[in-house]
Structure 1
């Protein structure tokens, strides 16, 4: 699967296979992170499956992935949400951030221009794909922030950035 390479401003500058983008030192590319809320203002987290090539067994946002070159981010995120969790939800892109993180366990590198999307899940029950997700949990953002501070190694390195974008937008919502 190809990913879309980006420059420092997030503009498309080419494409390459996903494995090449994640090989050290890592190539900057477009990605997305989805965070679903429930009616009790909790967020749905997943624990990445042990077979994942980057940051396996760590807790992270609801789902994440890469749009194909030229593919709308919201469309790609909706497809991935269904593939990983068997869920459909209206998604809204709320911001973007960039990060770079190496995975000491696998030697792979994330260097991503990450689009953050949120949605609300009302009645559907998650049906996680065991090849993608080993566990899931609903958790309040305040409790999640405590966990991130007390045991950061249990979480993916991008989760904090996702929460920063979400909390910034929520703080401006009346």
Structure 2
């Protein structure tokens, strides 16, 4: 199964990702599909978390067709910059593709994680840049090929549910939420 954009001629699994070492230095490139085959290859990624004027965060339930962690709840959007592409630029593009939204995004931290998806057999091994933004415009316009459901939720409510229902969420959400919420409260 491959993850498709609205344009059926673009297969996201064939796009290139930037391979990195443990400190985030670029060391090469490979396809999205190759980077996510077991045991996983460390590559650059980004995770965006948007806040509203009340301090709530925008979460999405990933679409059933996602090749990694389908139907689990995650941060607003995530993805991979192309080799050499600015993380902020790539994140802004992906935010528009997934939610039909724009926001001034700021990078607020980075972490590395390794997680296998028992459902699809794929692996996430990512050097993940966390970006935040605040939105005050109209409601999101999600692409149903990308997002099954979405919700604005208070960060503490997400933390509480992560404790009681960890399998409902992507494995990277806890770290993204902590980095993003700490930066947002500064």
Aligned to 2:84: 70
SS at match of 2:176: helix
Aligned to 1:27: 41
Deviations 1:127-167 (A, max 9, x none): 10011000000000000000100000000000011012123
Aligned to 1:121: 135
SS at match of 1:128: coil
SS at match of 1:160: helix
State whether structure 2 residue 48 is matched by structure 1 residue 44. no
- Aligned counterparts of 1:47 and 1:68: Cα–Cα separation in 2: 24
Partner of residue 134 from structure 1, selected from 132, 142, 148: 148
Aligned to 2:25: 11
- Aligned counterparts of 1:163 and 1:35: Cα–Cα separation in 2: 8
- Aligned counterparts of 2:52 and 2:184: Cα–Cα separation in 1: 15
State whether structure 2 residue 74 is matched by structure 1 residue 60. yes
State whether structure 2 residue 122 is matched by structure 1 residue 108. yes
> Normalised by the size of structure 2, how large is the TM-score?
0.91
- Aligned counterparts of 2:33 and 2:85: Cα–Cα separation in 1: 19
Q: Which runs of 5+ in 1 are unaligned?
A: none
| Runs of 4+ in structure 1 over 3 Å off | none
8 Å Cα contact 2:63-2:70 kept in structure 1? yes
Aligned to 1:161: 175
Q: Which runs of 5+ in 2 are unaligned?
A: 1-14
Deviations 1:85-136 (A, max 9, x none): 0000100000100000000000000000000000011022101001100000
State whether structure 2 residue 106 is matched by structure 1 residue 98. no
SS at match of 1:93: strand
Per-residue deviation, 1:170: 4.1
> Normalised by the size of structure 1, how large is the TM-score?
0.97
SS at match of 2:113: strand
